[in-house]
A and B are shown apart, each in its own frame.
Chain A
Amino acid sequence: MSRYFIRRLLLVVPVLFGVSLFTFILFFIVPGDPVLSVVGERASPETVALIRAELGLDKPLPVQYATWVGRALKGDLGRSFLNRRSITESIQARFPVTLRLSLFSLAIAIVLGIPAGVWAAVHKGTWIDAALRNVSLIGVCTPVIFQGLALQYIFGVWLGWLPVSGIGDGSWRHYLLPAIVLGTNIAAFQARLSRAVMLEVLDQDYIRTARAKGLSQRVIVYKHALRNAMIPIVTALGGSLGSLLVGSALTETIFALPGIGSYTLDAVFARDLPVVMGAFLFQAVVFVGVNVLLDGLYVLIDPRVRYD
């Protein structure tokens, strides 16, 4: 098993390398000049040239990329073109926001999505099934921009129970509304998946055997079936966590949260190359990391899984 994980980790290296090379190339296809946002209007050509040299943008592309890789290998992601802040420090400051938001969202998705899916599966074909399907589809069809606005007005403006946006003092209250937006979208997906998986499991021989033995529906569903349905459900949750941790550009922007998503979005639009490179790399590391951890998790929840 440890050999498997070592091999997996080794395979991560070319992936991260590929991510950085792809980002770098993409950036130079994208029109726009980062120096322009730094110098504004009416700067003299000498100043522009000076800044360009200072940022290293006057060197040939392969040299720029090699320089970046060399520094990144030493753990130095460099500084933003625009505000000269250390990218490593910025990510350290912003990732906890995204992490908290992700965990809240995932919790909401688990609490709402899985029971709804199981419930629908158990009542397949009844009005409960139909109602849950409709609710989850409406959830999927409501764009984040409207869900966000509606929640802000209902809970923030009219009821005054929760802050409209921002992280304030960092308490859970500030994360609740954005987490509902993200969480319900995942919950809708999770409910559909759980329903499908449960139906499949409930149709299997050992469940029929269990039923024949006269076990109660409750025991069958929660003890036997759900346990066996866990692998695909956990896989999907892991996938959702991976995407959440990358940061949600829209939700973070609408709720004015200083997370990784808004950080990356701003950098893409400002052509802040080092920030884009650093953020994409970090996001790739997180995504891959979550997946490696998931593989480990399977061993724990399903004794049949062995890596060798």
Chain B
Amino acid sequence: MTSGKSSGNLVTAAETAATGNVYLGETQLAMAWRRLRRDRVAMVGLVLVLLLALVAVLAPWIAPYDPVTDYNLRNRLQPPSKEHWLGTDASGRDVFSRIVYGARISLTVGLTSRVVTLILGVGLGALAGYFAGTWVDMLVMRLSEIVDALPSLFVAIAISVAIGPGIYTVFIALGFVGWADMCRLIRGQVLTIREQQFVEAARAIGCSTGRIVFRHILPQVTAPIMVSLTMGIAGAIMAETALSFLGLGAQPPTPTWGSMMNYARQYIYIAPHLVFAPGVAILITVYAFNLLGDGLRDALDPRTKT
């Protein structure tokens, strides 16, 4: 139970993203990492996620063509070939290159919109939970109920229309409509934990409220946060496809998997590869994050026996 050497790069990244500056008990982390390493399925997920991240980072070196400027209208809608592994799109651009660059944007969309959700949800949830029973709690809970009661897709659409479409709009719109669930979840967890002895002990020795929330309470809710993050990325990528269909996704010529799929719809009979390429990319991504998310849930669950 001493601090493991690999106190979890992966967890650190997500944890930082989630709350800015979370301190996780190292022993607990080390334990989780040990469990995760033993979970073969989860490790496959982790490797896939790392590979996707690598593709995203190294896109300019992997892609044989520029995803935007290398167009050729005389060579459009071509099936896969030696020059173009996944064929060409409606402007005659290399689909493989666009998929590779799309990894960057789609992963960013997924991650960022989840992070927006988490910051709002965890922040407000922790606040409400800590101040349970006060007006702060009341206000936050009413707000979350209002957001919940609003039809989320329509509100996302209205927000997109209000601030104009684009990649940032997608973050804001998806983040805004998604935080209420997370907020209630965290509030509930905080409520439970707050009453536990170690928190009372911390309070007794004079720890400040913020310190108690960040150092003692939030680390205890890592599991739901991590799972929501990994699972939610898939949802956000799919949501971008839907917004794209409604004309509110990323602006062209930015390659995102969602918009590529959406524009491919009209060519499904004459160039089906245009649908399958981003479709399979989305599938692999969602799959990878789900495997990882499942593994994390098991690994972070204190009830799981080691």
Interface set of A (CB-CB < 8 Å, partner B): 11, 14-16, 18-19, 22-23, 26-27, 29-32, 137-138, 140-146, 149, 196, 243, 246-250, 264-265, 268-269, 276, 279-280, 283-284, 287-288
CA distance A264 to B148 in the complex (A): 17
Can you spell out 11 A-B residue pairs with CB atoms less than 8 angstroms apart?
A19-B146, A27-B158, A30-B162, A32-B161, A140-B234, A146-B265, A265-B157, A280-B150, A283-B149, A284-B149, A287-B149
**A268 and B158 contact, Cβ closer than 8 Å, known pairs A146-B275, A250-B245:** yes
Inter-chain contact B158/A30, CB cutoff 8 Å: yes
Closest to B247 in A: A269
The interface residues of chain B lying within 8 Å CB-to-CB of A32 are 161
Closest to B157 in A: A268
CB distance from A245 to the nearest CB of B (A): 10
Inter-chain contact B242/A265, CB cutoff 8 Å: no
CA distance A243 to B152 in the complex (A): 9
Question: What mask results when residues 222 to 251 of chain B are scored 1 for a CB within 8 Å of chain A, else 0?
Answer: 000000000000100010011001100000
Inter-chain contact B238/A280, CB cutoff 8 Å: no
Inter-chain contact A26/B262, CB cutoff 8 Å: no
Inter-chain contact B286/A140, CB cutoff 8 Å: yes
Interface contacts (Cβ under 8 Å), in number, total: 104
Interface size of B in residues (CB-CB distance below 8 Å): 35
Interface set of B (CB-CB < 8 Å, partner A): 142-143, 145-146, 148-155, 157-159, 161-162, 234, 238, 241-242, 245-246, 261-262, 265, 268, 275, 279, 282-283, 286-287, 290, 297
**A15 and B146 contact, Cβ closer than 8 Å, known pairs A140-B286, A145-B245:** yes
Residue with the greatest number of chain A CB neighbours at <10 A, chosen from B154, B238, B241, B245? B154
The interface residues of chain A lying within 8 Å CB-to-CB of B238 are 140-141, 143
Q: Which of A141, A276, A287 contacts B234 (CB 8 A)?
A: A141
CA distance A288 to B145 in the complex (A): 9
The interface residues of chain B lying within 8 Å CB-to-CB of A146 are 261, 265, 268, 275, 279
Inter-chain contact B151/A264, CB cutoff 8 Å: yes
Inter-chain contact A26/B146, CB cutoff 8 Å: no
Residue with the greatest number of chain B CB neighbours at <10 A, chosen from A15, A18, A29, A248? A15
